[in-house]
Chains A and B, each alone.
Chain A
Amino acid sequence: MSAAAPPIPSGMVAKARWHLRHNPKADLWVAWWSIPIAYNIMGMVYFTITHMMPPPDPSKSQAEVVEFFTRYGFEIRLGFGVMLVSLAFLVWANGLIGWLIMKMDLPHAKAWGYAYMLAMCGGGFTGAYMSAFTMSVASLRPDRDPAMLQLLYDATYISFDGTMGFFLFGSLIWTYAILADKSRLFPKWFGYTCIWNFTTEFLVSPAVIVQTGPFSWNGTIAFWIDTIVYIGWQVIYVFMLYYAIKRVDPPKDRFRSMRLANLPGSRGTSVASTSGLSPQPA
């Protein structure tokens, strides 16, 4: 299809350049790398910079909420700045997974792939962005009316926990696609582990009702068990995506085959024959 590629050079930069230039899966690999990098930045922001995780007590008094925002104000705003820059790269992960679903052997695979991408992108908007804004606005003026700070505090954690439907649907779509896929792009057992993930989305829902106990937003079940399951599943899925990219056929580009047909002397390779249609008899 294209000219023979030169041998892979040694040295990291030269190697990376070779892959970007000649590896037909370069875009898939870059999208794959965005997952560990962007999720690690996000984890660092939530757990170490902003102190948003592990979540503080929902039953904090107004004075304690004021104290929380006064103490961590600058870190909260700095951390969310870092997160807002890196968050868009999670769309690459969603795009990669949605695209892999499109490549599966199941009825209407493309529609399943689009549905996955849209569901997950919506989830990033409500789950991550809204909580980042309410938290930043609260910490921007900790001298605000304490009742309003408490409102923003509740809005942060409830919008973070209470908009899990996007992720529920995203995981449900991925689970179905993996289990129904005849080409076994992902192993079947991984499809069953996806069930863990969407179960956590159910378990978190009481957090929008109760203020104490294991189901509150900082509780043993709604936060700790869910987060541990989610992170464990996330580690598995990074590896599963690695093997799926290795296994999947490289993207077939219409433009490439169109250009091939334009080359002088290669009229035999028509668009029809590269797209799998039988050529018309002359």
Chain B
Amino acid sequence: MPRILDHTLLLSVPVIGMIWIAAFLVFPTWTPLPPTLSAADVAAFYSDSGNATRVQYAMIVFNWFEIGMVGLYAMIALQMGRMSHGGGPLAWVYMAVTLGGACMFAAANCFWIVAAYRPDRAPEAIQLLNDLGWICFSVPTGFLIGQAVTLAFAVFLDDRDGRVFPIWVGWLNVLAAIAWVPAAFGALYLTGPLAWNGWLTFDLRIGTFAIYNAAMFAAAWTARNRLAERDLAA
């Protein structure tokens, strides 16, 4: 019977996931501000005291917990160290690359907070901060792609008898990497599916990220338990 404290690191993941969802719901709009808004409209959005407060509260919560998923990724890196090529560089690469996504999210977070901090700034300046925020939030999927490809590669290299992660984890990571590619081109257009509020850049990316983290949580959880049983059996 596993004691709950043995699983603190992994159990923090669903808690942080729920906090993320709550912060997302606090943000004034659940779809991104349209990129086609004029500078005056963007400035009006942040001047509205209701919107500004909700932006600030959502960003404070995101700021606290934005690095939270690193526990999940560290646990996955630990499992990668037990794979048949675990003594090589792949687990380190995975750990290093996961940091990038959180850093870019932190940058976006700062730009939005600054926009809401002094909404009586020149409207062009507010629009610039808003643009920087949405671009930093939407476009840097390269780290996520690198993360998924690294893990997929490690899973496919793993020994067929006695895999640490089942093969579906490899395919899931391949699919996730493909789903994140369009978002990297999110700065190309102000309208259409590739714009930062378009379905390829926003819905597909966020949806894939949610499913990916939930599935990887399940995979890390079972791999961890299975290996613990094997360690006991040895």
Contacts and interface: CB of A to CB of B under 8 A. Distances in A.
Contact of A84 (B87, B90, B184): B184
B185 interface: yes
The number of chain A residues touching the other chain, given as a range, is 35 or more
A27 B107 CA distance: 32
A148 B125 contact: yes
Contact of A254 (B35, B81, B143, B145): B81
Interface of A: 2, 20, 26-28, 30-31, 74, 77-78, 80-81, 83-89, 91-92, 94-96, 98-99, 114, 117-118, 121, 124-125, 129-130, 133-134, 136-137, 140-141, 144-145, 148, 152, 251-256, 258-259, 261-262
Contacts of A94: 93, 96
Given A80-B187, A118-B96, A27 B140 contact: no
Given A88-B147, A254-B82, A133 B132 contact: yes
28 contacts: A26-B85, A26-B157, A27-B85, A28-B88, A78-B185, A81-B187, A84-B139, A84-B142, A85-B145, A86-B142, A88-B146, A88-B149, A94-B93, A121-B100, A125-B104, A129-B100, A133-B140, A137-B128, A137-B132, A137-B135, A145-B122, A152-B128, A251-B86, A251-B88, A253-B84, A254-B82, A256-B84, A262-B230
A163 B92 CA distance: 24
A125 B96 CA distance: 11
B15 interface: no
A237 to B, nearest CB: 16
B16 to A, nearest CB: 22
A136 B145 CA distance: 20
A136 B89 contact: no
Contacts of A84: 139-142, 184
A101 B198 CA distance: 44
Interface residues of B, number: 57
B10 interface: no
B103 A255 contact: no
A259 B231 CA distance: 10
Nearest to B125: A148
Given A85-B145, A137-B132, A254-B87, 8 more contacts: A27-B154, A31-B90, A81-B187, A98-B92, A99-B88, A134-B132, A140-B35, A254-B86
Interface in B182-234: 184-188, 190, 230-231, 233-234
Chain A binding surface, main DSSP class: helix
B2 interface: no
A130 B136 CA distance: 9
Q: Which of B131, B141, B186 has the most CB of A within 10 A?
A: B131
B124 interface: yes
